[in-house]
Chain A
Amino acid sequence: MSVLSLLNLPYGIGITIAGVELAWGLVKYYLAPTPSQRREAIDEFYSIVIGAILTATVAYYMSIGPSIGASIASALGVSITQVQLSDIQKVMYNDFNLVMGQYIANQVTTFAISAAGAILGAFNPGKVPFNTFEAISGALGSLAGFLNAIMAPYNRALIATMMNTIALAALGQVMSTMYNYGIGSLSIALLLPSRTRRIGAWLASFILVFSILLPMVAGYQDTLVFNYGNVFTMWVSTIEKHCSNNSIMQAILSLFLNAPSWLKDAINIMADFVCGITTLPWLISNTATLVSVGTFNLLEGDIIIDIVMGIGFAITAWLADLIEAGARALFEVRHL
């Protein structure tokens, strides 16, 4: 890596500003008419050196933030995925898609079952003692209600998770952009001049805290989504597996072998649920266990993330003040 490449992002801005300040110190030193003014310039030079060390430290720190976060989480007994700053937005977007996919699949399945019931109900075979179409129509309509009722808490948990993934993705995007544009090193450079110290302190604090916290929380969110974000699919698969040996269901499905794939899939899911309903005790106990565990863990994780992010912002504000005071002590040039 050539020295000039340091001027590229993400370090470039900070190094440029530090360089300008250094140059200003040199100019002051050479043009200083008195020893005290030269002393000021040397002070400024020392400040720049300390600032440069800190800049490098922050840049390094930002790059290892995710692994620090993963280590902290591991020390707290939570195993999480290690997500790089630049990947947070992408990972959260994928998680959002997965969770949204589950939510939509759930809604579409409910709608499809309800619609199928309505269509079947429209068949009128005339006055018959037992109108099979009407009976199946009513049963399918109620089956849609069954799905709604069972999945209601899980859907709420999915919505809470979606909100979290959006917030984390946005923060990830901000952090990633800050990293790419060298805001980390800029924040240290901004600590040197007294006029920009406050914003520099806030930026430095934000970066210090969220370089660790954000990958940690995003990793935790990703782990949650990986483990509990696809309960609906798992539930359907379990029913499908359970019903795979049901010869009558297979016979009915074989009638639709040449149907378009979307229709075949829809009929497959409906047939699975109907088959599930017919083995009721199995369906209910299986559903209750699977859905409840996923829902609770997802909700608990969402609350933990919300609390941790709140604490993160409080610590950012707290640390910003400390950094500002520290920077004032380190970089304030004493006018003799």
Chain B
Amino acid sequence: MNYTSILWGAVLTGVGIFAYYIAYIVIVKGRLRGMNITRELYSAVGAFTAFIIMMSIITPLLSHLPSLVTPPSGGWVLEQYDTIASILSVVKIVSALILFPIEEYGTYSIISSAIDGIIGFLSGLTYLTVMVIALYKALLALFPFAPLFISLALARPNKPGSIVLMGIGLMTLVATPLIGWLSSLFYRITMGVVTALSPPCLDIKILGVVYYGPGPALVTTSQGVFMTNGTRYIPIWGCEGLQVSQVVWDWLVLNYTYTRLPPGFTIIPLYNGTLEILAHLPFPATAIENSSGVYGAWFPLRVLKYWRNGTGYMINDTVFFIRNESVLFWAWAGGVKANCSLAVNETGMVKTTLVSGPMVLPIFAPLTGSYPPSAPIGYRQMLINATAFNESCLVVFEPGSRWSGYTTLPATGPVKWALAGPLNLITGLNSQWSNVETAFTTVGVITVAVTLLGILLLPYLAIGTAYLGAIIVEFISPLWGVISQLLPF
């Protein structure tokens, strides 16, 4: 915006004020009342000259100050805040719906505090930005009147009211572009943070998950990862589809199919239906399992040889009995032992994978539950040929490391987004770091400058203007004498 023309319009008003003031001193006080006006005239003319000099200096200086930018939209900043705060709050509601029935109050309390923290930070930043923008808009309205305040102050420079008016006038001239610049900085900082925090959409849903297969399984979906052992509820973004990309059990990648069933009733529109997952190994393996978790699996693939009265059967989860048979086993176990001939070969028949829980900050990890170690420890995938001819044989499968897990709060969709909030906040602030530094340095410089101006400059203003006026009047008086001689009237 070009404010120079507006500024000079106001300068003319100031010139008018001085013209009236000087005319009043000369005509009313000097001529009509016959008073001694020397000192007052010196002051008035000095003030007028100081005003012109000051405005002449300030006007080109203004071009070196940041230009008067169009005020950023404070309403838009608040709108962004309200949107993010709403979505974060709905994540709290959805978390409560999931966690309260299973009496996970502590977990809810932690996620609630984390979300409140993000909202609190964003609220503070937004409020600061909006206040600076509002201040800038107010100063912008005041800006064209700044010369008027300066002229009023200079007209009677040695009075307390004048000092305040001078402060208002000068600060409006100098501070408006600076505050405008500052408001743009704060706007950029807030929008940077807001952009980093922005949710994919405004629609949050709860999806029921029904899992059929060996469990607990780690299900990886396009909206996040969770563990399930049957039925559970997960939060998802309504605007994004949900694809299951992997189902893992005991680090073994399962074959799976899945179906999205629409909600059977619409009384709770937050409910988005059911995801039914059917998963299985290529064969019906027996899990090496006890109450503390899963330790592997095995399966007799085929009877390779069969002699007379040959037999083979499972004794328990870890032991298989054979007699007069040669059996080929597949096993995912720590090892295998038998009191008969064994031929063990490593195999990759069933694909295994590294697993990981949801990617959240370490402080939030307990919220999401417990997950298995990323890689299996002490496991071998084996093809075992056990042969027991004319003898009884016990094939014992040794356990590997423990596979278990339990999802407290599924870190999927909106919860995943909310838990990444603090990290996104830091990312957003980092991307705007130079602006953050500049903004706070500017605030410091403005504070120091205002203090110094107030302490050092203003008390000398009155003396300065009086001396200046004396010089001008003493210079003009003889000049006027010469000119008046030339005039015919």
Residues on A lying within 8 angstroms of B by beta carbon are 76, 121, 129-132, 134-135, 137-139, 141-143, 145-146, 149-150, 152-153, 156, 248, 277-281, 283-285, 287-289, 291-293, 295-297, 299-300, 302-304, 307, 310-311, 313-322, 329
User: B97 touches which one: A138, A149, A304, A310 (CB < 8 A)?
Assistant: A138
Q: Nearest residue in B to A252 (C-beta to C-beta)?
A: B267
- Comparing B197-205, B249-257, B352-360, the segment that makes contact with chain A is B197-205
For the complex, is B219 an interface residue (Cβ under 8 Å from A)?
no
A282 to chain B: closest residue by CB: B202
Segment from B83-91, B220-228, B463-471 that makes contact with A: B83-91
The answer on a CB contact under 8 Å between A150 and B100 is no
A285 and B202 within 8 A (CB): yes
The reply to whether A288 and B83 form a contact with Cβ atoms under 8 Å apart is yes
Q: Number of B residues contacting the other chain (C-beta, 8 Å)?
A: 67
Q: Name A129's closest neighbour in chain B (CB-CB).
A: B101
How many residue pairs link A and B with beta carbons under 8 A? The number is 180
B79, A316: Cβ atoms closer than 8 Å: no
- B86 touching A149 by the CB < 8 A rule? yes
The reply to whether the CB of B425 lies closer than 8 angstroms to some CB of chain A is no
A42 CA to B390 CA in the complex, in Å? 150
**7 new A-B contacts at CB < 8 Å, known A142-B96, A145-B116:** A138-B100, A150-B86, A153-B78, A277-B90, A295-B130, A296-B75, A313-B164
A123 → B minimal CB distance (Å): 12
The answer to whether A145 and B89 have CB atoms under 8 Å apart is: yes
Contact between B28 and A314, CB atoms less than 8 A apart: no
A288 to B81, CA, bound (A): 8
Secondary structure of the A side of the interface?
A: helix
Specify which chain B residues have a CB less than 8 angstroms from the CB of A291 in the assembled complex: 78, 82
A300 to B71 alpha-carbon distance, docked (Å): 12
Query: Given A153-B126, A303-B134, A317-B160, is A278 in contact with B82 using a C-beta cutoff of 8 Å?
Result: no
Enumerate chain A residues within 8 angstroms of B75, measured Cβ to Cβ: 292-293, 295-297
B141: Cβ under 8 A from any A Cβ: yes
Enumerate chain A residues within 8 angstroms of B134, measured Cβ to Cβ: 296, 299-300, 302-303
Asked if residues A288 and B79 are in contact (CB atoms below 8 Å), the reply is yes
- Give min CB distance, B427 to chain A, whole Å: 22
8 nearest CB pairs, A to B:
A138-B96, A317-B161, A292-B78, A318-B161, A138-B100, A146-B89, A314-B164, A288-B82
Q: Are B82 and A280 in contact (CB under 8 A)?
A: no
List A contacts of B82 (CB < 8 A): 150, 153, 284, 287-288, 291-292
Interface membership of B165, Cβ < 8 A: yes
Which residue of the partner chain A has the closest CB to B204? A280
A288 touches B97 (CB 8 A): no
Q: Would A145 and B86 count as touching, CB distance under 8 A? A: no
